[in-house]
Amino acid sequence: VRWERSLGAIVREKNQPMTPEAVRDKWEKVCDFDNASKPRTIQESITVLSDALTLIESQGSVSMNSTSSGSVVSSSVDMTSIVGQEVATNVYKYTHLEPILYALGVGMSTKDPDHLKFLFEGSEDFCCLPSFGVIPAQTSMFGSIPSLAGLNIDITKQNLTMCMCSSLLTGQLTSVSTVADVLDKGSGAVLLIDVNTYCGKDLVCYNQFSLFFVGAGGFGGKRTSEKAKVTANPPKRPPDAVISDVTTADQAALYRLSGDWNVLHIDPSFAMLAGFKKPILHGLCSFGFAARNVLKQFANNDVNRFKAIKVRFAKPVFPGQTLQTEMWKEGNRIHFQTKVKETGEVAISGGYVDLVAALDKPSAREPLKTSGLQSDLVFEEIGRRVKEMGNELVKKVNAVFQWDITKDGKTAMQWTIDLKNGSGAVYQGPARGSVDTTFSLSDEDF
């Protein structure tokens, strides 16, 4: 016995009802088994329906891609030719509402005082979770997939790498999606999609998605790529920290408001058709839980220390289950995995977060190094003023300045005035992070 299905036909357009006449007009195509596909699993079959819904939503008027009987890749598609292809540019506009909604979607609560700066726009330290950077990127990346003809995604097999370049600002972000590479895994193909997200001309976030396409393999391509960001197994010892979070029955319903409208996460009938007993939680929701746990446990919720994160989505999670984040510290890299406490299954594997090294703030008890320069007295006075007005100045200035003070043509002292992070700071030495402006002038001129 072999399961065959026709390619079918889409019989409605966006915001238009399906009519008997439309079905009648497409009936011959609906019943055409000349190029029938041969699904091996329910999940493989459901991707066609999911893609059709996505196409209707994104394009308004569409037609099904023609496929061969042995594969879900059109014979006309040269897989290697799409490498380097820019597949989408998406503009994402947002205010304080979207980061707050995202924070709630990944389990943050006003019950925890440490979460308030992610939930209250009036907080003095209001900011968004670093993992929020995946939201505009995902919108761009998934919007681009329908433009790659003949590909059906298996949503259970994804990898994600995200690197933060700077704090995201309220306003407008532009994400550009590019096919970095295509790998031949035999039973399917893996597409590496790079998404660069910009605020104006400044790169604020980089994401790499690794997507598995069922039945698209066997085209003679390479199996590995130097462009792929690889996962890393955790150390073989008990975790240094474990945090458990009980998700709510409405976790997926809340998280989807951040922009992932896949009905698999909300519609019981569709979930059953896809082979699940009920709707599953978004993988990126579990990802958000893990990311914020690492941030709190090892960076004291300092978003400026969050550098990069890599995960592999291994198993589905159901809303209401308990996510158990296990973490291991190895220098500035935090390895982690997420288990479903009720079943013991690993939902996220091979994950890690790279943190920026903690900055040692100079102790108030330690006297500043004296250099005998006239400018030292000025910087010491600036430091006193910053202590008094730092919070206000940071809000107004939002920049880091480095001063290279010279004497007899050589650099004699460096000072940094940080009016960007925390409540501001003035200290001797070069800037401990990125600097916005560097001034170089003589002690006498200063």
pLDDT surpasses 70 at 160:
no
Q: What is the residue-averaged pLDDT of the chain? A: 83
Which residue type, as a one-letter code, is found at position 167?
Answer: S
pLDDT surpasses 50 at 146:
no
Cβ atoms of 212 and 158 within 8 Å: the answer is yes
Task: Please provide residue 236's backbone torsions phi and psi, each rounded to the nearest 5 degrees.
Answer: -90, 70
H or E stretch covering 427: strand 425-428
Binning pLDDT at 50, 70 and 90, where does residue 150 land?
very low
Q: Is 3.30.420.40 the CATH classification of the domain at 1-56? A: no
Enter the CATH code of domain 85-355.
Answer: 3.10.129.10
Q: In what order do the strands lie in the sheet with 437-442?
A: 425-428, 410-419, 399-407, 437-442
Tens digit of each residue's pLDDT (9 = 90 or more) over 205-260: 999 998 887 777 888 889 999 998 888 999 999 999 999 999 999 999 999 999 99
pLDDT surpasses 80 at 61:
no
Tens digit of each residue's pLDDT (9 = 90 or more) over 66-123: 333 333 444 445 667 788 888 889 999 999 999 999 999 999 999 999 999 999 998 8
Task: Please provide residue 25's backbone torsions phi and psi, each rounded to the nearest 5 degrees.
Answer: -70, -25
Binning pLDDT at 50, 70 and 90, where does residue 275 land?
confident
Average pLDDT over residues 158-179: 72
Question: Between residues 48 and 368, which one has the greater pLDDT?
Answer: 48
By C-alpha distance, which of 391, 394, 298, 312 is closest to 347? Answer: 312
Give percent of the chain above pLDDT 70.
81
Q: Which two tokens stand for residue 17?
A: 């009802």
Contacts of 336 (CB under 8 A, 6+ apart): 234, 290, 293, 294, 325, 326, 327, 328, 348, 351, 352, 353
Give percent of the chain above pLDDT 90.
48
By C-alpha distance, which of 366, 400, 166, 131 is closest to 258? Answer: 131
Average pLDDT over residues 9-16: 73
Binning pLDDT at 50, 70 and 90, where does residue 155 land?
very low
Which pLDDT belongs to residue 363? 43
> Which positions are annotated as active-site residues?
260, 265, 280, 283
Cβ atoms of 326 and 353 within 8 Å: the answer is no
Tens digit of each residue's pLDDT (9 = 90 or more) over 301-313: 999 899 999 999 9
* Cβ neighbourhood burial of 32 (10 Å; 0-12, 13-18, 19+): middle
Cβ atoms of 288 and 131 within 8 Å: the answer is yes
Confirm whether 1-56 and 85-355 share one CATH topology. no
Question: Between residues 77 and 33, which one has the greater pLDDT?
Answer: 33
Q: Residue 159: beta bridge partners?
A: 210, 312
Cβ atoms of 144 and 195 within 8 Å: the answer is no
Tens digit of each residue's pLDDT (9 = 90 or more) over 380-410: 889 888 888 888 888 899 999 999 999 888 8
Contacts of 414 (CB under 8 A, 6+ apart): 402, 403, 404, 405, 428, 429, 430
CA dist., res. 19 & res. 14, Å (int): 13
By C-alpha distance, which of 272, 350, 283, 291 is closest to 317? Answer: 283
pLDDT surpasses 70 at 32:
yes
Domain boundaries, the chain: 1-56, 85-355, 374-445
Contacts of 431 (CB under 8 A, 6+ apart): 400, 402, 416, 418
Average pLDDT over residues 47-59: 59
The model's pTM is 0.67
Tens digit of each residue's pLDDT (9 = 90 or more) over 319-366: 999 999 999 999 999 999 999 999 999 999 999 999 988 754 444 434
Q: Is 3.30.70.3040 the CATH classification of the domain at 374-445? A: no
